[in-house]
Amino acid sequence: MSKSVYYCAASLDGFIAESDHGLDWLTKYEGTFEGESAEPMKGSYDHFYEGIGANVMGSATYEFVLEHMAGGHMAWPYADKPTWVLSSRKPTRADGAGDELRIVEAKVTDLYDEMIASAGERDLWVIGGGNVASQFADAGLLDELIITVTPVVLGDGKPLFDRRLPGGALRLVGTRTWDSGMVELRYAIKPDQSAG
């Protein structure tokens, strides 16, 4: 059965972007770790993305992606999957996105069944940001959090979640230590969700 998964990178102090939405702290990070438990990070995103059937993001995340498509020199990265952008505005449509891109003003609860159905037997990726992830969590519709912790302290920025999660502590279901020095943490959001 499909799950909704919030998969992202965050600083050690829990921010997914700087206050100006910048990601230099992540894109320019060059760390290493040579411990026995280190796994190669290369290819980990591709492996994750193979298991995704549909995507959802907020307008700030969408506009960040557009801005970093290098003025149209880079293709829309999610053209192969249905993608919802939750926005009360009408942002510019990404070139090459086709009919798979849906920019809508709606509640997560109104779209959830359609998004999960579109994912088929794969998962729904909650790309971000923290407000969209919080909407899923508030409605009891977020199944899993996969966070890659980057050993950088920002002190301020865009938080992983906008609000406290309902239901208390999350349940750790897995960890990975990457050869980059980053650490992936996997948490079940719903209390009855089994590891896997």
* CA distance linking residue 94 with residue 84, whole number of Å: 12
Q: In what order do the strands lie in the sheet with 183-188?
A: 38-39, 171-178, 183-188, 144-150, 4-11, 123-128, 52-58, 83-86, 101-104
Average pLDDT over residues 51-77: 84
Average pLDDT over every residue of 70-91 = 84
Architecture of domain 4-18+30-188: 3-Layer(aba) Sandwich (3.40)
Q: How far apart are CA 108 and CA 87, in angstroms?
A: 11
- Dmax over CA atoms of the chain, in Å, equals 49
**Residue predicted with more confidence, 74 or 3:** 3
Give the global pTM: 0.92
User: Does the N-terminal peptide bond of residue 129 adopt cis geometry, omega within 30 degrees of 0?
Assistant: yes
Q: How far apart are CA 103 and CA 9, in angstroms?
A: 24
> Please, which residues bridge with residue 11 across strands?
150
What pLDDT score does 102 carry?
A: 94
Q: How confident is the model at residue 196, as a pLDDT?
A: 45
Question: Is residue 141 scored above 60 in pLDDT?
Answer: yes
Report H helices in 19-73: 24-27, 44-50, 59-67
Average per-residue pLDDT for the chain: 91
Phi-psi region of 43 (alpha: psi -120 to 50; beta: other; left: phi over 0): left
* pLDDT score, position 73: 60
Q: At what angle do helices 130-138 and 108-119 cross, to 10 degrees?
A: 100
pLDDT in tens, 39-60: 999 999 999 999 999 999 999 9
